[in-house]
Amino acid sequence: MSQTADRIRVRLPATSANLGPGFDTAAVALDFHLTVEAEPAAAFSIAATGRDAERCGALEDNLVIELYRTLLEREGRPATPLAIRMENEIPLGMGCGSSAAGRLAAIVLANHFGSLGWSSDRVLAEASELEGHPDNAAACWLGGFVASGTQGGEVHVARVTPPEDWRAIVVLPTEPLATSKARAVLPAIYARTDVVINLQGVAMLGLAFAQGRGELLKAAMTDRVHQPYRSAICPQLPKLLPLAGQEGILGVALSGAGPAVLAIVNGERSVAGAFRVIFDAMQEIQRPELLLCRFESQGTVVETGVHA
């Protein structure tokens, strides 16, 4: 066992964005992760385990490697070949923040091996620009529940730690959904009444997380901006939205652009009942995979000089 100064380990949480009304604004970190270890090598290689290991381990069109190279080329630095070990728990293409985690991993690797000297704020700004919005990137980088926005090229984030006893159930269908397809179904113009309802919801949403006001979530997670339009391509969503308020389920929303659905549950005592009504609601479609997790308050963890 030897220590190598250039070796790095990055552990990044999954995230669920929007949470109903907080379109491109609100997100929360979940405690399943992408872990990436890397060290200099003669050539690029990836050894991947966990979910979607074959896709994560492919050298061609690999998000982490391609972005790592692109960033260092842009900054005029050599792209040192890396031997990468990747353990993935985040479902790909499901609306659980896999792209934000992958992009942040690439940025951290470029910052470290390219000696870029970027601050935490710069790393988050780079990830937010690449994502096109800061919500997933902010929650992945900082952990907890975040409300975020970009003005004048600067990312602004307010963060709170979610209540310790709340749990998240992520309902996963069998097939992924491209974010581009999920965005293509959205209208260009919205009615004022729909916008006002979302503004009311997102204001309550932040206070519900900050104050542990679970009774607010059913109303706070109401959305008129994206979920009504995405229901046609996320058929489990209309089956699950009515479950808010039943069996300890505090609120239900599409996770990011979908197709996964997030249910927030009032503690471990409510999990069994929540699982039962979710499975009952999904009988006519398919038996989904359910992931039970806590909310992740730690955010991305970066360790350098780790042992092999």
| Average per-residue pLDDT for the chain | 94
Q: For residue 167, what are the contacts with CB-CB under 8 A and spacing of at least 6?
A: 264, 265, 267, 268, 270, 271, 292, 293, 294
**CATH number, span 8-160+296-304:** 3.30.230.10
- CB-CB contact of 202 with 25 (8 Å): yes
**Which pLDDT belongs to residue 179?**
85
Question: So what's the pLDDT on residue 306?
Answer: 66
In a 10 Å sphere around its CB, with 0-12 CB exposed, 13-18 middle and 19+ buried, how is residue 115 labelled? exposed
SS3 273: helix
Q: Are 8-160+296-304 and 167-293 in the same CATH fold?
A: no
Three-class secondary structure of residue 279 per DSSP: helix
Per-residue pLDDT reduced to its tens digit, 210-244: 999 999 999 999 999 999 999 999 999 999 999 99
Q: How confident is the model at residue 308 (pLDDT cuts 50, 70, 90)?
A: low
Q: Is the pLDDT of residue 307 over 70?
A: no
Domain assignments of the chain as residue spans, ordered by start: 8-160+296-304, 167-293
Two structure tokens written together for 196:
């006002």
5 or 69: which carries more pLDDT confidence?
69
**DSSP helix/strand/coil, 154:** strand
Is 70 exceeded by the pLDDT of residue 21? Answer: yes
Whether the pLDDT of residue 50 is over 80: the answer is yes
Q: CB within 8 A of 305, min separation 6: which ones?
A: 3, 4, 5, 7
What pLDDT shows up at residue 3? Answer: 41
Instruction: Provide the pLDDT confidence category of residue 2 given band limits of 50, 70 and 90.
Output: very low
CATH class entry, domain 167-293: alpha beta
Whole-angstrom Cα distance, residue 70 to residue 124? 17
Is 97's pLDDT higher than 60?
A: yes
Indicate the SS3 state at residue 38. Answer: strand
**Residue 55 to residue 165: CA distance in whole angstroms:** 34
Measured from the Cβ of residue 9, the count of other Cβ atoms closer than 10 Å reads: 18
Residue 292 has pLDDT above 90, yes or no: yes
Pairwise CA distance, residues 185 & 183, whole Å: 5
Going by C-alpha positions, the residue among 137, 112, 117 that lies closest to residue 127 is 137
pLDDT digits (tens, 9 = 90+) for 172-202: 988 888 888 889 999 999 999 999 999 999 9
In angstroms, the Cα distances linking 230 to 128, 170, 227, 237, 287 are 23, 17, 5, 8, 20
Question: What integer pLDDT is reported at residue 286 of this predicted model?
Answer: 73
Interval 57-63 mean pLDDT: 93
Q: How crowded is residue 33: how many other Cβ atoms within 10 Å of its Cβ? A: 23
Average pLDDT rounded to a whole number, residues 66-86 = 98
Average pLDDT over residues 261-273: 96
pLDDT of residue 4: 41
Q: How far apart are CA 198 and CA 203, in angstroms?
A: 9
Q: Which residue would you say has higher pLDDT here, 60 or 65?
A: 65
Kindly report, residue by residue over 125-170, the tens digit of the pLDDT.
999 999 999 999 999 999 999 999 998 889 999 999 999 999 999 9
